[in-house]
Amino acid sequence: MVRPIVFIGDSITEAWGFHRATTFAAHDLIPRGGSGQTARWITMRFRRDLEETGAQGVHLLCGVNDIGRNEGFFVPAEEIARTLASMLDEARAMGVAAWVGSILPAARIPWNPEVPDAPAMIAAVNAWLRDHAHEHGATFIDYHAVLTDEFGALRRAYTTDGLHLSPAGYKAIEPLMLAALGRVAAGDAVQATGGATLLKFKGARLATLAVAAAIVIAGVVLVLALR
């Protein structure tokens, strides 16, 4: 039997449930997004969302509104990480499986130009999640790697304003999400690193294998040439 998973987050999660409602319904995923909410605000409803939905799993995606100073003050990356960790710990204490998504790429905060270092803040929180999510019983999903361009911004084809995702953006990360949650066969999308589960595209792995194969072939050719 497929277990329900609740998606808890801000407007990015809210719009995900709207734009990809068919996917959510097909895989028993429950959207609980709140527009403009910071991670600290989300902690105030986190347990209630789990209890009300009866979910046996939780997908957490938030933090950008803390970076955007939606509560009117600067929040350091370390504090955002601690807030996310507290929710993961709460899920574990409740016996609920947890997945935490990376904060999505953004070159700037559209509604708050006074935030000068959004990419650096995003990178810092994501690095902490990548390295420590498993310590709090959660699987880390690296959406940032799928969506970013060479400058660390959100790819134009995937966004409406440089921060929020377009329907195409949600479609781009959906296979990664479904593989992480076990809703589809993970196959080559899953790679375990240091105890934390990092999900990567099949193409990236194939590229690595191709390079390795080329090195082996070159070595064989060199040996034959020296005979």
pLDDT of res. 3? 86
- Phi and psi at residue 9, to the nearest 5°: 180, -155
Longest dimension (CA), the chain: 72
**CA distances to 11, 26, 176 from 184, in Å:** 25, 12, 9
**pLDDT tier for residue 11 given thresholds of 50, 70 and 90:** very high
- Domains in the chain, please, with CATH? 5-192 (3.40.50.1110)
What stretch of H or E contains 98? strand 97-101
DSSP state of 154: B
Cα–Cα distances in Å, from 225 out to 140, 219, 221, 222?
A: 47, 10, 6, 5
Q: What are 101-156's pLDDT values in tens digits?
A: 999 999 999 999 989 999 999 999 999 999 999 999 999 999 999 999 998 899 99
